[in-house]
Amino acid sequence: MEVYDCLRSRLTIRSFKPDPVPDEMVTRILQAGRWAPSSRNLQPWHFIVIRDREALQEIGRIATSGSFVAQAPLAIAIVMEDADRPELDAGRALQQMELLAWSEGLGTCFVGLRDKEQNRKVKEMLGIPDRMDLITVLPFGYRLDNVKGTGRRRKPLSDIAHAERFGQKYASV
The residues that touch ligand FMN, with contacts defined as CB under 6 A, are 11-12, 14, 65-66, 109-112, 152
Nearer to ligand FMN, 153 or 165 (CB): 153
Kindly tell me which of 5 and 23 has the beta carbon lying closer to ligand FMN.
5
List C-alpha distances in Å: 49 to 77, 130, 169. Answer: 7, 19, 45
In angstroms, rounded to a whole number, what is the distance separating the alpha carbons of residues 139 and 128? 18
Q: How far is the CB of 95 from ligand FMN (least distance, A)?
A: 9
Q: Which is nearer to ligand FMN, 11 or 132 (CB)?
A: 11
Least Cβ distance, residue 151 to ligand FMN (angstroms): 11
CB of 152 to ligand FMN, least distance (A): 5
Bridge partners (DSSP) listed for residue 78? 47, 136
d(CA 170, CA 142) in angstroms, rounded, equals: 39
Spatial distance between the Cα atoms of 56 and 138, rounded to a whole number of angstroms = 11
CA–CA separation, 38 and 167 (whole Å): 31
The C-alpha atoms of residue 4 and residue 78 are separated, in whole angstroms, by 25
Q: Nearest distance from residue 88's CB to ligand FMN, in Å?
A: 12
DSSP structural state of residue 18? S
Closest separation between CB of residue 13 and ligand FMN, Å? Answer: 8
